[in-house]
Structure 1
Amino acid sequence: MKLELGNFYVEEIVFGEKTSFKDGVLTINKQEALDYVMEDENITHAELHIVKPGDMVRLCPVKEAIEPRIKLDGRTYFPGVTDEELTRCGEGRTHALKGCSVLVVGKHWGGFQDGLIDMGGEGAKYTYYSTLKNIVLVGDTNEDFEKNEQQKKNKTLRWAGHKLAEYIGKTVKDMEPQEIETYELEPVTQRNDEVTKLPGVVFVMQPQSQMEELGYNDLVYGWDMNRMVPTFMHPNEVLDGAIISGSFMPCSSKWSTYDFQNFPALKRLYAEHGKTVNFLGVIMSNLNVALQQKQRSALFVAQMAKTLGAQGAIVAEEGYGNPDADFIACIVALENEGIKTVGLTNECTGRDGFSQPLVTLDEKANAIVSCGNVSELIELPPMPVVLGELEALARDGLSGGWAGDEILGSSVKADGSVIMENNAMFCGDQVVGWSTKTMKEF
């Protein structure tokens, strides 16, 4: 399977008369874009903003991030989501607008799964999305049934973001890209001796899929991942729109759709393929609730890895707490098959850093990369501009925010300053590979 990504590097984003891309400038006709978004009758309010790195702007509650892209052959970019037609992702030519994203922000209402981004100041270092130029869709919907729920599906706004990203991606459909990245893996059984003599490695992904009620979990080809067992996938599918982010997990643990589209760990394995490793592909697992479900997934993963001839594996977990049981079970099952395994996850060591990092541990899980402590306290000064509603951080049960604490008070202070846990930082732990955090020994 061969995927070509044609990249167009965005140097500036402006509003103007015609939605277009020229000489590094992405121009968006604001009214036409809003009219397109408002075609969904469930959206009651929508506005568009442009923010760039260094802007003293705070966004909250942030729900999703997507890179604008378009398929050149006319197929929908997110099959099963932006179109009911199912077509295979990961092959052909896709054009992408690089260095920017579409961010989806609630006008008022947030929830457990939503987060915060500071584009400038002290808070900018906590999230990758402060480094991008962002088209910000701020919206509200008629989904009154969940406005006061701590856990929200956010379907209408998330879908609007996906459609808007594809709409903006059309600007470069018929243009010649500045750069073409090619992603191609030979069939596993048809690789030459120079490749097969290298250690075979699989990448095991555990996207968030714990909600038994449909609508909250990550989707693969539009299918709720709670309803699947581990499956062997081509990495190109992940990088090319097969998976969209869900709306259920503490926000610093979240993998946005942008993360799936650009998954750095997958790209690094591609770069090492044929040099230091034989990259066999992706085992797409999931995260479960019941113990037997967790054990079943671990058995599937280990069997597939062994059958593929893997000698090494990397396991990445989206979430923490209960999912740690899936994460550790998977690592142990792989190690029991003689497959050397590295884990990628964040940890929950409490505000003082002294608690057990994962809910469950095992001596065979002896090579885990930590991407940060979800409970770390972060204090941020007021921002002159807020897009969305900052009070949502405290009022609506965002992970990492609170309405009242007997010592710390509310997360949101009267002057607009904030004290919160890292949990509330949008995609802050970046288990996918963006993370710049380091460990120190004392």
Structure 2
Amino acid sequence: MRLTLAVHSISQMDFGSKTQLEGTRLQIYVEELRRCILQDRRLQSVDLEIARPGESCRAGYVFDIIEPRAKEPGLGADFPGILGPVTPVGQGVTHVLRGAAVTVVDGGQPGGELGYESRRGGVSKILEMSGEAAKRSSYSDLQHLVMVPRAHPDIERHAVLNALRVASCRAAVFLAQTALSQLPDSTLDFELESPKSGNGNLPRVAYIGQIHGHQHGTESDEHILYGANTRGMMPTPLHPN
């Protein structure tokens, strides 16, 4: 199984009249992206802004930050279990916009300006693009498309979180698809022989990882692994790709 990441470097992000990738400049047509996100009828609107390195900008509370990626057509689903069917995607070619990010702000978190502490003990997350905090963040040197999706008021909280996840993945694919017809700046190949073929020079190792602690519980539509919430999941082998 061989996976190739086709990496396209992004140094500039702007809004414009067309969504396209020109060299290292990513241009986004806002209305086209908005229509893509609002396919989800649970959302009534979405605010879109761009945050650049060094700007006096703070965004929060951050729901997630995703690197834009899209599969070559016919080589697997984008974000299987969330946007597409559950299918292996550790093969073929995936286009990556390195230096860009989709940052989703959860505008509906309880707590408001007083801050938010989740039921799992976590605290609210803030994106800083300048100042001392930015120097200590691995995200402050990225070009951010900042999204604030707003759900209809009658949508239950767990469904709102599900809608935010879907919106973030849709936007990531939307941006990365601009690179499908272009040559990448570099490529990264990941290939692993099957266990049956063996390699006499390497030990046989299995890594056991707990992806979620069930003492916290999960929502019925919460995306943990391939779109599933892991309830009742048996031990499952995963290929490193």
When normalised by structure 1's length, the TM-score is 0.48
Q: Could you tell me which residue of structure 2 aligns to residue 135 of structure 1? A: 145
* CA shift for structure 1 position 131: 2.6
Tell me the equivalent position of 1:118. 128
Give the deviation of 1:166 after TM superposition. Answer: 0.8
Q: For residues 92-103 of structure 1, what are the structure 2 equivalents within 5 Å? A: 92-103=92-103
**Equivalent position to 2:165, from 153, 158, 162:** 158
Identity %: 30
Asked if structure 1 preserves the Cα contact closer than 8 Å seen for 2:80 and 2:86, the reply is yes
**Equivalent residue in structure 1 for 2:198, among 191, 196, 211:** 191
Match of 2:13 in 1: 13
SS of structure 1 residue aligned to 2:58: strand
Structure 2's unaligned 5+ residue stretches are 111-115
Alignment partner of 1:80 is 2:81:
yes
User: CA shift at 1:189, angstroms?
Assistant: 3.3
Per the TM alignment, residue 127 of structure 1 is displaced from its structure 2 partner at its CA by: 3.2
Q: CA deviation at 1:167?
A: 1.2
Structure 1 residues 95 and 126, CA gap change in structure 2 (3 angstroms): same
Aligned to 1:232, which of 228, 237, 241? Answer: 237
* Structure 1 residues 153-302: aligned runs within 5 Å: 154-193=161-200, 195-196=201-202, 199-210=203-214, 211-215=216-220, 217-236=222-241
* Aligned amino acid, residue 119 of structure 1: M
Alignment of 1:349-368 (within 5 A): none
Aligned to 2:113: none
**Aligned twin of 1:25:** 25
User: 1:107, 1:138 within 8 Å by CA — same for their partners in 2?
Assistant: yes
Deviation per CA, 1:54-80: give whole Å up to 9, x if none: 222111111012111111134321112
Matched residue type, 1:232: P
Distance 1:215 1:65 in 2: 23
Change (3 A) 1:124 1:231: same
User: Which structure is higher in helix share?
Assistant: 1
Instruction: Work out which structure has the larger RCO, using CA pairs closer than 8 Å and 6 or more positions apart in sequence.
Output: 2
Instruction: Give yes or no for contact 2:222–2:228 (8 Å, CA) kept in 1.
Output: no
- The residue type paired with residue 209 of structure 2 is M
3-state SS of 1:159 partner: helix
Indicate if the aligned counterparts of 1:208 and 1:217 stay in contact, CA closer than 8 A: no
The residue number in structure 2 matching 1:409 is none
Q: 1:201 to 1:192 in 2, by over 3 A?
A: closer
Cα distance per residue 1:328-382 (max 9 Å; x no partner): xxxxxxxxxxxxxxxxxxxxxxxxxxxxxxxxxxxxxxxxxxxxxxxxxxxxxxx
One-letter amino acid of the counterpart of residue 57, structure 1: C
TM-fit CA distance, 1:144: 4.0
Please state how far the C-alpha of 1:129 moved relative to its aligned partner: 1.9
Unpaired segments of 5 or more residues in structure 1?
A: 237-442
Instruction: Assess, with a 3 A threshold, how the Cα gap between structure 1 residues 126 and 228 changes in structure 2: closer, same or farther.
Output: farther
How many residue pairs match? The answer is 229
Determine which structure has more spread, i.e. the larger CA radius of gyration.
Answer: 1
1 CA distance for matches of 2:237 and 2:163?
30
Once the 2 structures are TM-superposed, how far is the Cα of residue 230 of structure 1 from its aligned partner? Answer: 2.7
Quickly say closer, same or farther: Cα 1:139–1:217, change in 2 above 3 A: closer
Structure 1 residue 24: deviation in Å?
0.4
Q: Give, in whole Å, the separation in 1 of the partners of 2:9 and 2:186.
A: 9
1:283-335, CA deviations, whole angstroms, 9 ceiling, x for partnerless residues? xxxxxxxxxxxxxxxxxxxxxxxxxxxxxxxxxxxxxxxxxxxxxxxxxxxxx
